[in-house]
Each structure stands twice: as C-alpha cells, then as structure tokens.
Structure 1
C-alpha cells in the first residue's frame, strides 16, 4: 500500500464554475486554510470526490445561498487507496505522527 498525495489545489468557490479534481475511489483528503496552513478538514472516506463535494465550506444566508465574503481561502489535497480500510490505516498513522511531532515540539 504505497499511496502518494496529490499537489495542493485551490478549493473551488461557489458560483465560479470551478470543479473538484479528486479520485472517485476510497482514500484520504485534507483541506487547509491557504494563508495559515491551519487544518480545516481531514478524513478517510469511501469516495474522495463525493466527500469533498459535500464538505460544507463557508456560511449560508437565510435563503440558502453562500456568502462569498465569508468563505475562507482553502486548498485541498487527496490520496487514493485501494480500500477504505487502507485509508483509515493511513489516516491513523498520520494522526499518530502529528501527535508525536506536536508533543515533541511542546
């Protein structure tokens, strides 16, 4: 199970006709704030493209439209795997490495 991450891509903004480029397969996705690098979302899923498309980004008005001024500038990357179990294993390893890094830096 050797999987590689895609390059960081700008997250599509509502109303601009932009598309998400992601595998239609099990895998991982990571979404972060482009300016700060702060993690916005991370998950192991059955269908990466569908999960990114359903991800709620920004706030909504009373009429169901997104307010473009309130949407953060986000970017995402993906990593396809053979199965969701492989994706979960890879996610657990990444979380473990991050926790080790943060505890060592404190």
Structure 2
C-alpha cells in the first residue's frame, strides 16, 4: 500500500465559519503548528473527519461568576490526511512512519 497524503490545509476555526475537509473513513492524520512545523497531533483512526473534528486545539474556556467566557487563543494549525482501506492499514502505515522518523532523528543526532 502506498500512502498518499492530502495537501496541508489550515485547521478550521468555527468563529470564522470555516469547515474541516477530511474523508469519512480510516486513515492517518497529522496536525502541525503552521509557523514552526512542530507536530501537534498524529494518529491512525477509524474515521478521519470525526477524529479531526473532535481534536482539542486549545484549553477550554472557563465561565466566570457572571457568565462571561474568557476568549481562548487557539494556535495556528494546519493538517493533512492519508486515507486507507482499513484502520489496520492506517496503523501499519503510521508505525512505519514513526519508525522512519525515529531512525532519521537518531541518525541526525550522531556526529
């Protein structure tokens, strides 16, 4: 199985009326900080759209004694997906990716 990733997309913010675009099926997702490229979330799941839409992108706001909510600054994120036929395929592909990243990181730190 050859994994094909989608293009990077800006993670939607409901306050701007934006919507998530992801397959309704198994696969892998990756979410990163747009400014630095640092990994925010990565997983192999049964339903990409559901997993990405339920991902917590910031701390929950707290309601004050007077019922007002403090605004929460969400990080500027972007995401991509890789659809697979089954969750088992997604999990196997994710494990291969993690193995390759670990090998790269271990090799790049050796002088």
Structure 1 and Structure 2 fold alike (TM over 0.5): yes
TM range, smaller chain = over 0.9
2:64 paired with 1:60: no
TM-score by length of 1: 0.93
| SS of equivalent to 1:92 | helix
Task: Work out whether residues 58 and 74 of structure 2, in 8 Å CA contact, stay in contact via their aligned partners in 1.
Answer: yes
Residue ranges of structure 2 left out of the alignment (5+ in a row): 64-68
* Partner residue, 1:85: 88
How far apart, in 2, do the equivalents of 1:66 and 1:27 lie? Answer: 35
The equivalent of 2:66 in structure 1 is none
1:42-99 deviations in whole A, cap 9, x for unaligned? 0000000000000000122213x6834x211000000000000000000000000000
Q: CA deviation at 1:2?
A: 2.2
Partner Cα distance (1:54, 1:60) in 2: 13
Counterpart in the other structure of 1:22:
22
Distance 1:95 1:85 in 2: 15
The answer (yes or no) to whether the contact 2:9–2:79 under 8 Å persists in 1 is yes
Kept in 1: contact 2:62–2:70 (CA 8 A): no
User: What CA distance in whole angstroms lies between the structure 2 residues aligned with 1:31 and 1:83?
Assistant: 21
What are the within-5 Å matches in structure 2 for residues 1-106 of structure 1? 1-63=1-63, 67-68=71-72, 70-106=73-109
Matched residues, number? 104
Q: Following superposition, which runs of at least 4 residues in structure 1 exceed 4 angstroms of deviation?
A: none
User: Could you tell me how far apart the structure 2 residues matched to 1:50 and 1:56 are?
Assistant: 12
What is the TM-score when the length of structure 2 is the normalising length? 0.89
